[in-house]
Amino acid sequence: MLEVEGLCKTFPLPRGRRSKGARPPGAHDPREQGQQFHAVRAVSFRAEAGRILGLLGPNGAGKTTLMRMMSTAIKPTAGTARFDGVDILQNPLGVRRTIGFLSGATGLYGRLTAREMIAYYGELHGLARAVVRARVQELARALAMEDYLDRRNDALSAGMKQKVSIARTLIHDPQVLIFDEPTTGLDVAAAQTVLELIARFKREGKTVIFSTHHMHEVERLCDDVVIIHQGELCFTGTIEDMRARTGARHLDQAFLALVNAGRGEGEVRA
């Protein structure tokens, strides 16, 4: 189980945006206060084992910053998160052993093959070589990437590279999975493979958090939804709660209604 408690992240503003009037009238972002940009502000929620949680929000809402804090890639300004009681601040290494984090900003070593790339991360996690070899083959089958497993990463398509990134995220068989837009760059068939894999993780009792802009993916997979806007939580609940709270039939309409309702009104709970 994942527990997020009051996570906040503040960054210093670039010098040119620190003074009033630096932006055109009406273009002020309420997250800019003094010399600071409040990217994430006091976000709290829970994600249960054996359930899939969709992390939603408009572009720039703070989703990636939130996931990077949960993964220990960056340190929060305030608040914390715990994975089965392991705290991201007190034991970040223990958290990294527990989770798999797919970031949209992480590149691949072009001179390594897909197999070498995945195996490298397995060895970083301390897995025995025999275990790494078996896991690489298992993931290659699951992600339908056996045909290019021994091709260099710099010769792969964007979709192939995304699958390599997913495989290295899963190499140590983590119990908690955090995916930042996992189907980005994938064609329909490849995206289907990834979504089926995520559904399998749920059946295996893993905790899954994934960020997406595709509402059909949310409707198909998610048990729970967290929506953030301008760094703040504006909804947490189930898909059914989203529809009941807004009266909207379509999920994209419910999402937009909740984002609009959350502007300046704090959290909306079903």
pLDDT given for residue 24 in this prediction: 53
pLDDT attached to residue 158: 85
Residue 212 is classified by DSSP as: -
How high is the pLDDT of residue 17? 60
Say what the alpha-carbon torsion angle 166, 172, 176, 179 is, to the nearest 10 degrees: -10
Cα separation, 170 vs 192, whole angstroms: 17
Give the pLDDT confidence score for residue 269 in this predicted structure: 43
Going residue by residue through the chain (270 aa), what tens digit of pLDDT does each one get?
Answer: 899 999 999 999 886 665 554 555 445 677 888 788 899 999 999 999 999 999 999 988 999 999 999 999 999 999 999 998 999 999 999 999 899 999 876 689 999 999 999 999 999 999 999 999 999 999 999 999 999 999 999 999 888 998 999 999 999 999 999 999 888 878 898 889 889 989 999 999 999 999 998 999 999 999 999 999 999 999 999 999 999 999 998 999 999 999 988 654 444 444
Report residue 254 as tokens.
Answer: 């419910």
Alpha carbon 209 to its chain's center: 6
DSSP strands (E only) in the chain: 2-12, 32-33, 36-47, 52-56, 78-83, 86-87, 99-102, 176-180, 207-211, 224-229, 232-238, 268-269
Give CA–CA dist 227/267, Å, rounded: 9
- Residue 164 sits at φ, ψ, to 5 deg, of -60, -45
The pLDDT score that the predictor gives to residue 23 is 52
Quote the pLDDT of residue 262: 61
Q: What is the DSSP string of 126-143?
A: T--HHHHHHHHHHHHHHT
Q: Please report the domains of the chain, with CATH numbers, ordered by start residue.
A: 2-106+175-269 (3.40.50.300)
Is the Cβ–Cβ distance between 32 and 76 less than 8 Å?
A: no
Burial of 248 (0-12, 13-18, 19+ CB in 10 A): middle
- The model's pTM is 0.85
